Amino acid sequence: MPRPRRRLASTCIGTVTAGLLATGAALAAPDEEAPQGSDIAMGAYLDYGPSGVARIPYLSRWLGGKEIRVGHTYLPGDRWAGIEGNVGFLADWAEWRQEEDDRMFVLNVPMQERNEERVPDRQVARLIRAGAQGDHDRHFKRLAEKLVDLGVPDTVIVLGWEMNGTTYTHRCGPDPENWKRYWKRVVTTMRSVPGQEFKFDYAPNRGTDAIGWTKCYPGDDVVDVIGMDSYDQGPGQDFDDQISQPYGLQQHVDFAKAHGKEISYPEWGLFRRGDNPEYVRRMLKWIAQHKPLYHTITDYCPHGVWQCKQNPQAAKAFKDALTPQKPAPATPTPVIPTPVIPTPVIPTPVVPTPVVPTPQVPTPQIPTPQVPTPQIPTPQVPTPQIPTPQVPTPQIPTPQAPSVPPVVPPVVPPVDVPVEPSVEPPVVPAPVSPSPEVPVVEPSPALPSPAAPSPAAPSPSPVAPSPAVPAATPKPAEPTPPKPKPPVNNTQWCVPLNFGEWLSKLVGNQAVCVKLDWNKGFFWPF
């Protein structure tokens, strides 16, 4: 729609400055304790750069503490460098956005350079075809990377706004089909940047304008929000006409609902009909009824209400509608005291009730018998200790030939009586087995050989005959009765002891006997 250039015009600076000085309330800090208004995100375009960010708290104060949740600005469309985001003020808006989680940053992005230079349709068609072929993809990729790097990857991007009109070089009318292809390339390119969470807002002018805006709609896959710019101007004589006209407010709501999209009003405000408070009231009521994702009024002359002092009635309507309602102070209701008439109290005679004692029947205490737990001793089974017999090593002396004359042996009587040798042969006990039957090994008597001298221990020189050698007239030795053999399964076990040659002669042959009782176990005698 035809209108003055209003995005980056420096002529508005004087008007804005005068508005700030004239508004005393705007110079105060926002009231932090002021109640919050509607939950619909609301904002205003106050300026494109840092001054626009700085004015937001003053607008909030003017509205009685209304929270301004939307920050709205535009990229310059004169050169591709501006469309790529090579402007310093983006950092200021990014910082404002990051201060609160529920804030929203809305950025209008041109689709062509020389965007407001009234480029003819034939040249616009050529530029649209170049964009549809991907000639401008790199510019939009750089913009997406810039926004992600600044920490605003969730920016709402109003791409190629008012495309159904005649004002901008990025308009749709000269080639609608290639325009839709161009939109798809831009969105696809920006969504390819890692970390992005952009929302793309398709926002035509209200009404037919140069072409019906539905003919330029690029598709649900590349559109997140369907917006509309709606100013107080024709077509239509009043607000009801703005609702019902072709491509008007009602068709906008119905079209978005049919496509499952949220709606928005990135731009709205006064224009051709001057200071019109009725338009402001009706537009705010329409917004409250249909609950868009966000709305931002264009707040500079001739469209604005706070920074434009030529619209005082519309400004008052805007302020009254959006200022949070504070509860009125409660008026205390006067309390008229009711006279209290004392009621005479007649004492009731108290008749004492006789107290009948309740007999106390003692409860017999029955002792609980204590049953002792029997202690069952665990039988201790002794482990039989079987002694290991000590086998003595036989000491066989080496016989030495005597140097004395030989002795004639005496005549031995022919009696079959064994003569006890002077040295008993060593007794080697039989191997002991675990069986209780342990046989007693007795030495067998041996006859001395007359041809050889008796083995005796060597004597010091001169060599004397061994005391075990029989005398010239020997006396027959009494036979030693044989020891009885122990009965089978005997409980007595005897082991012979060897004390050496000379001690055996003094104490005789000895044995150690152990008595075993297999029923009661056994024990050692020492």
**For 40-66, what is each residue's pLDDT tens digit?**
999 999 999 999 999 999 999 999 999
Instruction: Give how many domains the chain has, as a whole number.
Output: 2
The mean-pLDDT minimum among 9-13, 309-313, 377-381 falls in 9-13
More confident of the two residues 340 and 12: 340
Backbone Cα Rg of the chain? 65
The dihedral region occupied by 118, where left means phi > 0, alpha psi between -120 and 50, and beta the remainder, is left
| Residue 417, in any domain of the structure | no
Neighbour count for residue 449 (Cβ, 10 Å) = 8
| Residue 47, in any domain of the structure | yes
The mean-pLDDT minimum among 145-154, 477-486, 499-508 falls in 477-486
Mean residue pLDDT of the chain comes to 76
Residue type (1 letter), 250: Q
| Residue 308, in any domain of the structure | yes
Compute, in degrees rounded to 10, the torsion defined by CA atoms 40, 44, 45, 50.
-100
Token pair 């600076």 in the structure block, residue = 13
pLDDT digits (tens, 9 = 90+) for 397-431: 444 544 444 444 444 444 343 444 444 444 444 44
| Residue 443, in any domain of the structure | no
Quick one: average pLDDT of 457-479?
45
What tokens appear for 89 in the block? Answer: 């003020």
Range of the domain at 516: 492-522
Quick one: average pLDDT of 114-133?
97
Q: Under 8 Å CB-to-CB from 233, ≥6 apart: which residues?
A: 1, 271, 272, 273
Over 70: is that where the pLDDT of 268 sits? Answer: yes
322 confidence band (pLDDT: 50, 70, 90): very high
Report helix angle 176-191 to 121-132, nearest 10: 40
Q: What is the CATH number of the domain that holds 39?
A: 3.20.20.80
pLDDT of residue 513: 65
Token pair 């050496």 in the structure block, residue = 500
Q: Under 8 Å CB-to-CB from 134, ≥6 apart: which residues?
A: 185
Confidence (pTM)? 0.59
Q: Under 8 Å CB-to-CB from 41, ≥6 apart: which residues?
A: 69, 70, 102, 104, 293, 294, 295
Over 50: is that where the pLDDT of 245 sits? Answer: yes
Q: Over pLDDT 70: what percentage of the chain?
A: 55
| Residue 439, in any domain of the structure | no
Residue type (1 letter), 291: K
| Residue 312, in any domain of the structure | yes
**Domain end position, chosen among 292, 322, 352:** 322
Q: What are phi and psi of 22, to 5 degrees?
A: -75, -20
Over 60: is that where the pLDDT of 182 sits? Answer: yes
**Domain end position, chosen among 286, 307, 322:** 322
**Domain end position, chosen among 322, 348, 377:** 322
| Residue 18, in any domain of the structure | yes
| Residue 481, in any domain of the structure | no
